[in-house]
Chains A and B, each alone.
Chain A
Amino acid sequence: QSVLTQPPSVSAAPGQKVTISCSGSSSDIGSNYVSWYQQVPGTAPKLLIYQNSGRPSGVPDRFSGSKSGTSATLGITGLQTGDEADYYCGAWDSSLSAWMFGGGTKLTVL
């Protein structure tokens, strides 16, 4: 069972905006950086967001990250069918001394 809680699924139409939440606690998100990963089925995860809101080179600015208190949010604008994937948040948990991933959120672009 993940310490970081994500909604199992979200959906939206092409061109629309969607947000995916990642809820944690003071010992993980509340005191450490959050990163986000995109995993297209059958492929390896890909880093989308690092240090709460940084975007690696090559990641479109349609993807954004934010953090407030013990929660983090991934935003995707201008949805494309190619954005259909599973999305995971990740953070260090200082009390467990463990790296944690969220349970993942399946994005469907209708």
Chain B
Amino acid sequence: QLQLQESGPGLVKPSETLSLTCTVSGGSISTSSYYWGWIRQPPGKGLECIGNIYYSGSTYYNPSLKSRVTISVDTSKNQFSLTLGSVTAADTAVYYCARHHSSSFYDYWGQGTLVTVSS
């Protein structure tokens, strides 16, 4: 059974950089037809796609976040990572990693990790 697990700091200061890693187990990240993505959910609000990455390194970023986001992949560790720069309180959210089928759906999700932006 495929499993995804997010890890990283739960507290980030304003203007600094948020960094998270997703570790994939029970399957290879180097699988054709699947991307690997990050989605976030501010407290009490809906879901927002941040972006996806293919194992080859090809990326998609949400246009509204593109200037601050980098997603990278490490196939040797079966991990992919998110960095979000110049964070503000508006970036406080639960961050999920998930697997994205190329025909457009997210089928496996991590449990999510809460990141709070506060001084």
Binding site for B on A (CB under 8 A): 2, 32-33, 35, 37, 43-47, 50-51, 56, 88, 90-92, 96-104
Contact = CB atoms under 8 A, between A and B. Distances in A.
Nearest to B4: A44
Interface string B35-72: 00001000000111100100000001011100000000
A102 B106 CA distance: 14
A44 B109 contact: yes
B49 A101 contact: yes
A26 to B, nearest CB: 16
A36 to B, nearest CB: 9
B42 to A, nearest CB: 12
Interface of B: 39, 46-49, 52, 60, 62-64, 96, 101, 103-107, 109-112
Nearest to B107: A47
Contacts of B63: 96-98
Contacts of A97: 63
7 contacts: A44-B96, A44-B112, A45-B39, A56-B107, A90-B104, A90-B105, A100-B49
Contacts of A88: 46-47
A97 B109 CA distance: 22
B47 A101 contact: yes
Given A44-B109, A96-B63, A101 B104 contact: no
Given A44-B110, A44-B111, A96-B63, A103 B46 contact: yes
A45 B47 contact: yes
Nearest to B37: A99
A101 B109 CA distance: 15
A6 B72 CA distance: 33
A47 B39 CA distance: 14
